[in-house]
Chains A and B, each alone.
Chain A
């Protein structure tokens, strides 16, 4: 689906990636993991074509990125960002409607039946149907995040990019979103590429994981149990960790070994 070959990129004179090679297969859940500042978001933008690589290329279904128009690209991939600054008081429904833009044939036509159905379905999936007529500026951060998710779902694309999309969500909504991703992946063969800081959850749902070091090198790529190992993670993070097995899924699970022992509870009375 997405092939990355010999991709190099630098911010000004600061080199970030050199000669990256990997691919994302159709219908897989692909997670990108790495420490802060290693360029995960930049990588996502390179894959999407919003940033141009210095050398090497990215191909989508064997077509080089620069031959795909912005609009055609938006039909292929939708993005859920980490957050958004919502300045203008659109209603939730109006904002989700914006996700239909890449499917519009001309500007003056009002929405077609397909558009309306897609919007309704996206609202339902993101669990914000009751909020549909509220102003986005009046919603909480977590609710806004689900509006952004609904907008991406309304795009009806084969690929979904998530850039730390769950970091503002409480545990319930985080798990709901994760479940939703798995469901979309299983029912509609949606390809999911996500940046995540939740190693356990990523390990539980991903088909493959890409581990990037702070200097932009690929540390490992492959199945969760191959990538989430003590050896690999110790290269990336300073903390001492133990890898255990998730009792429910059998996937690897990370337990940090804290250097300081837990504090005694205050005001302990006999």
Chain B
């Protein structure tokens, strides 16, 4: 196809990407305080759930956790892809845009009011996420949307949300605060099976809608005016995309707190390997995003085992330097 070395091997990369969730799942199941060999792991998986200590660890602790990590990673990465296309800005990411912050504020507001339900918390997060997104978008539209304005607006909305959040936590009882702070730093251990099912349903729905919109996403990367010239109903499409991406962010935040940079790093890598066409970018970002977070979680659990680092710390340690590198390479003046 092309003389570009990476581009011509895109099918190979595609196959590797398809296999990545399986590999990541194995790593995630095997790694931890009790580390298992591939053989042990396979035999435990084949035995099915049971009362033995290894069986309990794998089936009741690690598997739900791996599924949660996959879900959250995929959701964040999908919303990252969407924001980058709609805002025409490869540096956009739910965390940097303050959307995650808004979602966290919504979720904590619901939690401190004592509404601990798998429907209400994500809904509150969703409202928070859309409010933050709306604010950022308002600023970005007023100033013909330069890269810097957008990110700055996002950071400001994020800090506003963080300030309100701290205020809520300051008023809440102490043990609730402690728990909330741990959750905010990105935590995948609260996996309640009910929440997990809801989350996966939400993710699959969102994914299918976004995939269906992939050609629209391509058009939107050319700018709203051009997209309209080419016959796209920009207002309606943008609304759908913002709502779906906001919902995915909200879902991820409600389940696992603030995990940054997944939505930035993963779409970038996929674009490098696969080009920017969303028909491929959407499914592969979802796959790689899920895999990435499963591995990041495995690292978070093993590095100081038996203690665990919040997974948000790991993704930020990997993602922030990557962001700085992109900013330097492209001068931010995208």
Contacts and interface: CB of A to CB of B under 8 A. Distances in A.
B222 A71 contact: no
Contact of B88 (A72, A79, A87, A102): A87
B226 A88 contact: no
A108 B212 contact: yes
Interface in A132-182: 133-135, 151, 155
Contact of B230 (A74, A89, A91, A134): A74
B219 A101 contact: yes
A63 B238 CA distance: 28
B231 A75 contact: yes
Interface string A52-93: 000000000000000001111111001101001111111100
Given A91-B275, A107-B213, A101 B230 contact: yes
Contacts of B231: 70-75, 101-102
A75 B221 CA distance: 20
A133 B1 contact: yes
A84 B230 contact: no
A85 B223 contact: yes
B228 A155 contact: no
A252 interface: no
B40 interface: no
A135 B6 CA distance: 13
Nearest to B215: A107
A16 to B, nearest CB: 18
Contact of A84 (B219, B222, B276): B222
Query: How would you classify the secondary structure of chain B's contact residues: helix, strand, loop or mixed?
Result: loop
A229 to B, nearest CB: 35
Contacts, number: 75
Nearest to A108: B212
B232 interface: yes
B277 interface: yes
Contact of A90 (B213, B232, B276): B276
Nearest to A154: B230
B125 to A, nearest CB: 29
Nearest to A78: B229
B227 to A, nearest CB: 9
Contact of A50 (B215, B219, B225, B276): B225
Contacts of B271: 88-89
Nearest to A148: B226
A89 B275 CA distance: 7
Interface in B1-57: 1-2, 4
A116 to B, nearest CB: 15
A224 interface: no
A98 B222 contact: yes
Interface in A88-117: 88-91, 94-95, 98-99, 101-102, 104, 107-108
Contacts of B176: none
A91 B1 CA distance: 11
A102 B230 contact: yes
Given A73-B231, A89-B276, A133-B1, A94 B218 contact: yes
Given A81-B226, A88-B90, A98-B218, 20 more contacts: A69-B233, A70-B228, A70-B231, A70-B233, A73-B231, A74-B229, A84-B222, A85-B223, A88-B221, A88-B276, A90-B218, A90-B276, A94-B277, A101-B231, A102-B230, A102-B231, A104-B215, A107-B215, A108-B212, A135-B4
Interface of B: 1-2, 4, 88-90, 212-216, 218-219, 221-223, 225-226, 228-233, 271, 275-277, 334
Interface of A: 48, 50, 69-75, 78-79, 81, 84-91, 94-95, 98-99, 101-102, 104, 107-108, 133-135, 151, 155
14 contacts: A48-B229, A70-B228, A70-B232, A84-B226, A86-B222, A87-B89, A87-B90, A87-B334, A89-B271, A95-B222, A98-B219, A99-B230, A104-B215, A155-B230
